[in-house]
């Protein structure tokens, strides 16, 4: 092999991608003239740590020290910043590795100041390197763009026409018709840099006279080959580029005092930075899932620099002034996330055909020799792997056996109960008539089991939890006092089930007496304290808790809810307005986590606090946030000492996440996610500083009618329609209508950040799914391994829960996924004895809107969990009771429907319904028969019929008016004040 090929092959070998993290530095500039009276709150206490010197008491709650690869204080020169924070990365370009240097920070924090210096020093060093390597030939090309108001402009051309972005399968995103100058020398480059500076959009704001109003990307592409082999057709060329990115500064309209053009610029700047933030945050969690590169031109162009084939250094600039504390924290939070992003830089070699053939030959030889002489080490590795697998199989076999035993125990107990019920009914009138009609075996079996736990409302046997509604207690029925007495007998339940230890996930225990319960079928949410407590337990896993790994080990209480040996990965808790771990909120998060893990602390005391907060919210006119606000943290940090005690906004939120962007646009979700951050990383200072009218301004819209039904006391006709002031803008709207001034004003509102929060929180679902699947997968895994061992060719079937697929699915797949998931949910309702009214509501409410994915998923998870609880009881005691209780409650609901029929259906209607349901008009107890038939099967026609009948009987609200949220994330910790009681039947 010739030397040229050797060299090419060696270069090729080196081309293997290398993972490394983004290098992140922070530069603190000195206070400037505008900040003269301000105090300097930040200090670099070491070469890697910057510290907040807190003198303000309420700041004490934030972490004070932030550590990065390097931090530079006000005394550091740009040269030093370059040498220690950027040089190594920048100079990678001469070795064929792409690189990017970014400056990120608040407006006037010194980005341009820093980047100008760094670009200059880099250019000097690159030319220096070139001079020292005369054996190589270098070709340098330069291009420059700015992104101004989401339009890409060529800075080397006087033509200001926006340029299009193109997707190149090999090169990634490229800019069409971009001028690329081949450089003659250093001076040529200097001139071009001066041209760029002159062309760039600069404007004066209150914070910076020469504020860059655009993102600027200067790109230097370097090609190099060994001179000796040039032109021989067997050489290799290294090609790489370095980007110098001076981002526009994030800004708050109020601080920059911008209006008109500046305001519009600001909104574009903030939006693209928001997307950048999202991308970085998403990348910081790993590259799985959707990274929204395409949401802005900036991120599209920089895609390879962010988590791709490039080495990247980010210099975050900040002002030390107290007046910029909020923005400084946001910058540091961005930096914290950026630190976690991993890139995969590799040497980019362009080989001649000859060199490529040689390289491939070498590779072939190597592989052949590996096959011939396998390394002994690999044998050991295989043997070890086999041993490990064997051990794993054994473990899974054991678990399977245990699970099967448990299942058998539960089954036999259930059988016993069913049998005793059948016996009791064998001489009963109902059973006889029932038999006469020869119902399907399935529906009969179900009803029989329900019958087993039925109690007559005149029997004297206490009704249990009549008023314990589940899922926000969203259904309310009118009791028909004149109704006939049920011909149902009291059944002797096993001792344990007589006690108040019913643990139905749908109808948890309470201590209400029968008389209370018979009084009314009004299942108000307010009355569901105990229900909520148990529901909390069952549903805490969907409380979207972005708790980070290191906190997971402490989730003992939560673990108790899961079947034994469940390897539980705590779902993410999206706390506060950021979806990312916030170093400055770690302590608080920790305490929230602890409190959430301690159910004893989630009970009455906290409930009172919640109620207080609801009161406060409402009195501040922020009731719209209520639905969300008391959802996840019953220990809300509510400090009435704060200037604006909008506790509702300081409440740490808990938001389910998803990768699905469509979800972020769900209007129905929005009401839940309405704490408006002032940036993508917003922190709670904002909330403590934001005056009430500010909050009011951003309260979400909600159907007035529903709001009135929820909060009748707030239904003041003279009150201002808050939605008019809402900063809420759907992302669609945002994209479409950014051009008008009004929209610009909206953009400047934190609704962008809200969008961001909403979308960013989405990732939490991924972990939730994982948690869910962890346990279920054990069985699958066992079966897989078993089939592998048996030599069976059985393919592992795709997990049929539909969750995974729906999340990653493209919108076009959604209808299929939706149908699939809906069918599964129906089946799960059936198996979990879900309340009929709940099923009806859910079925009618969620009809396939992609934005409802999250609700579907939550429902699916909840049901899966309940089903597991039903079948995986450790001792068969409590959970057996749960089954009993759920059946009993189901039966009670049927009784209620039976009564409602008398009230709600005319004779003619009844006859039509009986005919439709195949009930013999000459038979007796037709109403009873019908009430026992609805929701007993899982085929779609039956479901539709059932839902429509039940809806009529309970006078269901228009589905569009019902709150989807109640099926979502926040039903468990809902406050239990009377104020929140709502009867959807409007009784
Ligand atoms: N480290 C520093 N030392 C001294 N002066 C600085 C430093 N950093 C910035 N400055 C000064 O602060 C002012 C604002 O800096 P610069 O324009 O670089 O900010 P910026 O972050 O690019 O702002 P914008 O985003 O609005 O463009 C300039 O006058 C600059 O000279």
Where do we find the tokens 């002994």? 376
Asked whether residue 529 carries a pLDDT value surpassing 90, the answer given is no
Q: How far apart are CA 888 and CA 880, in angstroms?
A: 12
> In the predicted model, what is the mean pLDDT of residues 722-741?
35
With a 6 Å cutoff on the Cβ, whether 111 touches ligand 1 is yes
Where do we find the tokens 């003269």? 36
How many angstroms does the Cα of residue 113 sit away from the middle of ligand 1?
5
Q: How far apart are CA 609 and CA 61, in angstroms?
A: 20
Q: Output the residue whose Cα is nearest ligand 1's atom 1.
A: 29
Which stretch of 379-393, 441-455, 536-550, 800-814 has the lowest confidence by average pLDDT?
536-550
* Confidence (pLDDT) at 360: 80
* Confidence (pLDDT) at 888: 86
> In the predicted model, what is the mean pLDDT of residues 854-874?
80
How many angstroms does the Cα of residue 28 sit away from the middle of ligand 1?
11
* Confidence (pLDDT) at 859: 87
Q: Which of 873 and 921 is assigned the larger pLDDT?
A: 921
Which residues, listed in sequence order, are joined to residue 311 by a DSSP beta bridge? Answer: 99
SS (H, E, C) 342-394: EEEECECEEECHHHHHHHHHHHHHHHHHHHHCCCHHHHHHHHHHHHHHHHHHH
Token pair of 682 as six digits: 């917003």
592 SS3 class: helix
Assigned CATH for 3-12+21-249+277-354: 3.40.850.10
State how far Cα 57 lies from the chain centre.
33
Give the residue extent of every domain in the chain.
3-12+21-249+277-354, 403-537+829-980, 540-760
How many angstroms does the Cα of residue 154 sit away from the middle of ligand 1?
24
With a 6 Å cutoff on the Cβ, whether 110 touches ligand 1 is yes
Count the helix, strand and coil residues of the chain and give each as a percent rounded to the nearest 5.
55, 10, 35
* Confidence (pLDDT) at 810: 57
138 SS3 class: strand
Which stretch of 325-339, 745-759, 807-821, 849-863 has the lowest confidence by average pLDDT?
745-759
| Percent over 90 (pLDDT), the chain | 14
With a 6 Å cutoff on the Cβ, whether 77 touches ligand 1 is no
What does 639-668 look like in DSSP terms, one character per residue?
-TTSSS--HHHHSPP-----S-HHHHT-HH
With a 6 Å cutoff on the Cβ, whether 78 touches ligand 1 is no
Q: Best mutation site among 105, 106, 208 for ligand 1, i.e. most ligand atoms within 8 A of its Cβ?
A: 208
Asked whether residue 690 carries a pLDDT value surpassing 60, the answer given is no
How many angstroms does the Cα of residue 939 sit away from the middle of ligand 1?
67
| 108 in a labelled binding site | yes
* Confidence (pLDDT) at 378: 56
Q: End-to-end alpha-carbon separation of the chain, Å? A: 90
| 513 in a labelled binding site | no
Token pair of 382 as six digits: 């295989």
With a 6 Å cutoff on the Cβ, whether 29 touches ligand 1 is yes
Asked whether residue 556 carries a pLDDT value surpassing 50, the answer given is no
| 106 in a labelled binding site | yes
HSE of 480, CA atoms in CB hemisphere, 13 A:
18
* Confidence (pLDDT) at 598: 42
Which residues, listed in sequence order, are joined to residue 71 by a DSSP beta bridge? Answer: 26
How many angstroms does the Cα of residue 323 sit away from the middle of ligand 1?
16
Question: Are the beta carbons of 145 and 155 closer than 8 angstroms?
Answer: yes
SS (H, E, C) 148-204: ECCEEEECCCCCCCCECEEEECCCEEEECCCCCEECCCHHHHHHHHHHHHHHCCEEC
How many angstroms does the Cα of residue 155 sit away from the middle of ligand 1?
21
| 877 in a labelled binding site | no
Q: For strand 151-154 and strand 349-351, is the pairing parallel, antiparallel, or unpaired?
A: unpaired
Q: Which of 103, 100, 111, 121 is nearest to 219 (CA)?
A: 100
> In the predicted model, what is the mean pLDDT of residues 403-415?
86
| Each residue's pLDDT tens digit, 259-312 | 566 666 667 777 788 888 888 888 888 767 788 888 888 999 988 788 788 899
State how far Cα 466 lies from the chain centre.
35
Name the range with the highest mean pLDDT among 584-598, 703-717, 954-968.
Answer: 954-968
What are φ and ψ of residue 52, in 5° steps?
-90, 120
**CA of 57: how far to CAs of 581, 587, 659, 832, in Å?**
23, 16, 38, 51
Token pair of 70 as six digits: 């390097």
Atom from ligand 1 closest to the CA of residue 213: 27
Question: Are the beta carbons of 504 and 963 closer than 8 angstroms?
Answer: no
With a 6 Å cutoff on the Cβ, whether 116 touches ligand 1 is no
Q: Which helix (H) or strand (E) holds 123?
A: helix 111-132
* Confidence (pLDDT) at 17: 60
Question: Are the beta carbons of 762 and 292 closer than 8 angstroms?
Answer: no
> In the predicted model, what is the mean pLDDT of residues 317-327?
88
Q: Which of 443 and 367 is assigned the larger pLDDT?
A: 367
The whole-chain average pLDDT of the chain stands at: 64
How many angstroms does the Cα of residue 284 sit away from the middle of ligand 1?
28
Q: How far apart are CA 55 and CA 53, in angstroms?
A: 6
Q: For strand 236-246 and strand 215-226, is the pairing parallel, antiparallel, or unpaired?
A: antiparallel
Q: Output the residue whose Cα is nearest ligand 1's atom 11.
A: 110
Q: How far apart are CA 522 and CA 516, in angstroms?
A: 11
| 256 in a labelled binding site | no
> In the predicted model, what is the mean pLDDT of residues 781-785?
48
* Confidence (pLDDT) at 686: 33
**ipTM score here?**
0.98
Q: Best mutation site among 105, 112, 245 for ligand 1, i.e. most ligand atoms within 8 A of its Cβ?
A: 112
Question: Are the beta carbons of 232 and 213 closer than 8 angstroms?
Answer: no
* Confidence (pLDDT) at 899: 87
> In the predicted model, what is the mean pLDDT of residues 802-815?
54
With a 6 Å cutoff on the Cβ, whether 30 touches ligand 1 is yes
With a 6 Å cutoff on the Cβ, whether 73 touches ligand 1 is no
């Amino acid at each position: 092999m010739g030397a040229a090929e050797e060299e090419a092959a060696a270069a090729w070998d080196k081309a293997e991608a290398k993972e490394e993290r983004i290098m992140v530095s922070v530069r603190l500039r000195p206070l400037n003239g505008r900040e003269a009276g301000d105090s300097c709150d930040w200090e670099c206490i070491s070469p890697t740590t910057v510290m907040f010197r807190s003198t303000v008491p309420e700041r004490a709650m934030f972490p004070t020290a932030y550590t990065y690869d390097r931090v530079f204080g006000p005394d550091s020169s740009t040269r030093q910043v370059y040498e220690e924070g950027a040089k190594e990365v920048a100079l990678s370009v001469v070795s064929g590795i792409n690189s990017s240097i970014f400056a990120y920070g608040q407006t006037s924090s010194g980005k341009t100041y820093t980047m100008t210096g760094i670009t200059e020093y880099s250019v000097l060093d690159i030319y220096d390197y070139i001079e020292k390597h005369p054996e190589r030939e270098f070709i340098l090309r330069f291009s420059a763009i700015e992104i101004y108001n989401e339009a890409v402009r060529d800075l080397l051309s006087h033509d200001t026409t926006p340029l299009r972005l193109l997707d190149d399968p090999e090169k990634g995103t490229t800019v069409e018709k971009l001028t690329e100058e081949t450089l003659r020398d250093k001076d040529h480059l200097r001139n071009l840099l001066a041209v760029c500076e002159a062309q760039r959009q600069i404007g004066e704001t209150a914070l910076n006279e020469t504020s860059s109003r655009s993102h600027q990307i200067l790109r230097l592409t370097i090609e190099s080959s060994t001179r000796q082999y040039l032109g021989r057709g067997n050489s290799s060329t290294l090609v790489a580029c370095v980007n110098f990115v001076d981002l526009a500064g994030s800004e708050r309209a109020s601080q920059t005092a911008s209006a008109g053009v500046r305001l519009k610029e600001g909104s574009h700047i903030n939006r693209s930075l928001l997307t950048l933030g999202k991308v970085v945050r998403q990348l910081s969690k790993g590259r799985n899932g959707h990274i929204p590169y395409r949401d802005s031109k900036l991120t599209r162009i920089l895609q390879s620099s962010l988590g791709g084939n490039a080495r990247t250094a980010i210099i975050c600039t900040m002002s030390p002034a107290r007046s910029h504390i909020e923005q400084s924290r946001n910058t540091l939070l961005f930096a914290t996330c950026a630190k976690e992003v991993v890139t995969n830089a590799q040497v980019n070699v362009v080989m001649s055909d000859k060199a490529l053939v040689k390289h491939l030959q070498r590779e072939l030889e190597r592989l052949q020799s590996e096959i011939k002489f396998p390394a002994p080490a690999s044998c050991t590795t295989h043997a070890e792997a086999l041993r490990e697998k064997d051990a794993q199989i054994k473990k899974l076999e054991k678990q399977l056996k245990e699970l099967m035993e448990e299942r058998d125990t539960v089954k036999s107990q259930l059988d016993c109960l069913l049998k005793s019920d059948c016996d009791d009914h064998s001489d009963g009138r109902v059973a006889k008539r029932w038999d006469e009609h020869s119902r399907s075996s399935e529906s009969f079996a179900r009803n029989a089991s329900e019958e087993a736990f039925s109690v007559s409302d005149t029997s004297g046997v206490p009704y249990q939890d009549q008023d314990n509604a589940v899922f926000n207690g969203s259904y309310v029925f009118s009791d028909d006092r004149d109704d006939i007495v049920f011909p149902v007998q009291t059944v002797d339940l096993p001792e344990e089930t007589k006690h108040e230890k019913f643990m139905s996930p749908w109808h948890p225990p309470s201590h209400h007496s029968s008389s209370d319960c018979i009084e009314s079928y009004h299942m108000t949410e307010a009355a569901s304290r105990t229900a909520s407590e148990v529901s909390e337990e069952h549903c805490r896993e969907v409380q979207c808790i972005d708790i980070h790994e290191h906190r997971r080990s402490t989730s003992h209480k939560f673990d108790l809810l899961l079947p034994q040996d469940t390897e539980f990965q705590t779902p993410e808790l999206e706390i506060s307005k950021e979806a990312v771990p916030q170093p400055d909120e770690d302590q608080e998060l920790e305490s929230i986590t602890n409190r959430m893990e301690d159910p004893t602390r989630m009970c009455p005391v906290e409930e009172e606090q919640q109620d207080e907060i609801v009161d406060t919210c409402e009195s501040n006119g922020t009731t719209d946030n209520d639905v969300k606000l008391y959802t996840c943290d019953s220990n809300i940090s509510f400090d009435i000492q704060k200037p604006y005690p909008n506790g509702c906004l300081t409440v740490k939120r808990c938001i389910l996440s998803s990768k699905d962007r469509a979800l972020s646009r769900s209007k129905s979700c929005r009401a839940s996610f309405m704490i408006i951050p002032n940036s993508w990383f917003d922190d709670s200072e904002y909330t403590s500083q934001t005056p009430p009218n500010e909050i009011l301004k951003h309260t979400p819209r909600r159907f007035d009618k529903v709001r009135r039904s929820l909060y009748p006391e707030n239904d003041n006709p003279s009150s201002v329609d808050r939605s008019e002031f809402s900063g809420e803008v759907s992302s669609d709207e945002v994209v479409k209508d950014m051009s008008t001034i009004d929209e610009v004003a909206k953009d400047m509102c934190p609704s962008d950040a809200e969008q961001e929060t909403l979308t960013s929180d989405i990732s939490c679902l991924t972990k939730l799914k994982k948690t869910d699947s962890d346990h279920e997968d054990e069985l699958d895994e066992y079966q897989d391994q078993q089939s592998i061992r048996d030599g069976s060719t059985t393919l592992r079937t795709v997990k049929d829960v539909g969750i995974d697929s729906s999340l990653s699915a493209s919108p076009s797949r959604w209808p299929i996924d939706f149908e699939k998931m809906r069918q599964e949910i129906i089946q799960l309702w059936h198996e979990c004895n879900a309340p009929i009214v709940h099923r009806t509501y859910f079925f009618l409410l969620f009809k396939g809107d992609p934005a409802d994915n999250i609700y579907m998923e939550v429902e699916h998870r909840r049901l899966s969990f309940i089903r597991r609880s039903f079948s995986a009881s450790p001792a068969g005691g409590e959970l057996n009771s749960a089954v009993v209780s759920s059946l009993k409650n189901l039966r009670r609901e049927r009784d209620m429907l039976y009564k409602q029929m008398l009230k709600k259906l005319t004779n003619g209607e009844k006859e039509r319904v009986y005919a439709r349901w195949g009930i013999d008009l000459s038979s007796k107890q037709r109403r009873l028969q019908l009430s026992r038939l609805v929701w007993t099967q899982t085929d779609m026609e039956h479901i539709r019929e059932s839902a429509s009948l039940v809806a009529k009987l309970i006078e269901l609200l228009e589905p569009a008016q019902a709150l989807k949220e109640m099926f979502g994330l926040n039903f468990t910790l809902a406050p239990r004040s009377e104020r929140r009681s709502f009867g959807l039947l409007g009784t």
